Structure 1
Amino acid sequence: MKKLRDYEIGIDRLANKRHYYEFELGDAFFDLFGKELIQGGKLLAKVELDKTESLLTFHFDIKGHVRLVCDRSLDEFDHPVDIDQTFRIKYGEENAELDDDLWQITPNTQVISIAQHLYDYIGLSLPMKKLHPRFVEEADDEEEDNDQDILIYSSRKGAETDGEEDDDDDDEDDVDPRWNALRNLN
């Protein structure tokens, strides 16, 4: 069984250049994080690390599929995943998360674990509504039907009720008198 240690990159001895890593993410990887969100899957994560004196840039390219549970039928299905993300780490006085994709670490940090980043990127790529592929076409048809029943709101009184438009002069009469007072402030 894989452990989180298998997804660590030792940065203390790396030269200042590009380094390439590959990680196979299978059921054992998702077992490390529980199965609430993702039941399992088979993915290949290619990680490019560009190390400089002051910055580490991780480029994640993750492709494959994950096994999800359908929200409607509770059937498991495979969902394709194709992720392209970048994450940066800079050196500083203390360990801190400066932004979603920018961290700060101390210069004496020896190892970076990317397991949580891999899992988070996969989780963020999933749809909010997890539907088995057999239901996706039905959902698309329902959305098209809903698009045809669009309610258009108009604040004009008597707006095109019998196909005729009101004159612009009538609009000025219907305006709240407070707005007319503001127009005179020029």
Structure 2
Amino acid sequence: MKPLKAFTIPFVGLKEGKHHFEYDIEQSFFEYFEYEEFNDSNIKVNLVLNKKTTLLELNFKISGTVNVNCDLTNEPYHQSIENELDLVVKFGDEYNDDNIDILIIPHGEYEINVQQYIYELIVLGVPNKLIHPGVEDGTLDSEILKKLEELSPKLTEDQNNKEDIDPRWNTLKKLLTDK
């Protein structure tokens, strides 16, 4: 997968200190990764790169909304997300991203691509179970919910009050009382 140029930061020409980068993430970003869980997205990424003599500190902050389908009703809604990541980039003999918080890149590198970190930060910021807010507070008017209500089994008062006990259990209960 070829890296997107907009997310490549050439750090070799930057002075020591903090540098701010902002990205607006839209649906085309996720199409690049072939991620089709979002209907639409509007996410802001604030990246602060703190360049020091021997390392780089990256602080990612994302906030925004993604349009997703509810897991219960399949109704689309806007899910707000916020997430944050601190990453330390060190220089070493070879590339190593085994540690979540530390990235080691070879000494000769002059730029870093942050698209994968932004992608993972957004995807991991979305809750595992997506429930439309209207389902939780009961205000969602959906055809699916109406159909589920219509097809759900109805319990009458007679069924609730009458205990259907198999007569064989009564015989077994006698064994307990006949001690």
With normalisation by structure 2, the TM-score equals 0.70
CA shift, 1:62, in A, is 1.1
- C-alpha separation in 2, matches of 1:34 and 1:66: 16
CA shift, 1:104, in A, is 0.3
Partner of 1:175: none
SS at match of 1:34: coil
| Amino acid corresponding to residue 94 of structure 1 in structure 2 | E
Do 2:88 and 2:103's aligned partners in 1 also have CA atoms closer than 8 Å? yes
Partner of 1:65: 65
- C-alpha separation in 2, matches of 1:50 and 1:17: 5
5+ residue gaps in structure 2? 139-179
Do 1:37 and 1:123's aligned partners in 2 also have CA atoms closer than 8 Å? no
Tell me whether 1:110 sits opposite 2:102 in the alignment. no
Partner of 1:10: 10
- C-alpha separation in 2, matches of 1:56 and 1:82: 23
- C-alpha separation in 1, matches of 2:43 and 2:54: 31
With normalisation by structure 1, the TM-score equals 0.68
Partner of 2:96: 96
Tell me whether 1:53 sits opposite 2:53 in the alignment. yes
CA shift, 1:9, in A, is 0.6
SS at match of 1:96: coil
| Amino acid corresponding to residue 62 of structure 1 in structure 2 | I
| Amino acid corresponding to residue 67 of structure 1 in structure 2 | N
Do 2:22 and 2:46's aligned partners in 1 also have CA atoms closer than 8 Å? yes
Tell me whether 1:128 sits opposite 2:128 in the alignment. yes
- C-alpha separation in 1, matches of 2:96 and 2:111: 15
Do 2:30 and 2:36's aligned partners in 1 also have CA atoms closer than 8 Å? no
5+ residue gaps in structure 1? 139-186
- C-alpha separation in 2, matches of 1:53 and 1:11: 12
| Amino acid corresponding to residue 47 of structure 2 in structure 1 | V
- C-alpha separation in 2, matches of 1:109 and 1:77: 42
- C-alpha separation in 2, matches of 1:64 and 1:13: 31
Partner of 1:80: 80
Alignment of 1:107-186 (within 5 A): 107-137=107-137
- C-alpha separation in 2, matches of 1:33 and 1:93: 29
Percentage of matched positions with identical amino acids = 24
- C-alpha separation in 2, matches of 1:136 and 1:127: 15
Q: How many residues align?
A: 136
- C-alpha separation in 2, matches of 1:35 and 1:91: 31
Do 1:59 and 1:84's aligned partners in 2 also have CA atoms closer than 8 Å? yes
| Amino acid corresponding to residue 30 of structure 2 in structure 1 | F
Partner of 1:147: none
CA shift, 1:24, in A, is 0.7
- C-alpha separation in 2, matches of 1:30 and 1:80: 17
> Bigger CA drift: 32-41 or 75-84?
32-41
Q: Alpha carbons of 1:18 and 1:124: their partners in 2 closer, same or farther (altered >3 Å)?
A: same
CA shift, 1:89, in A, is 0.9
Do 1:30 and 1:39's aligned partners in 2 also have CA atoms closer than 8 Å? no
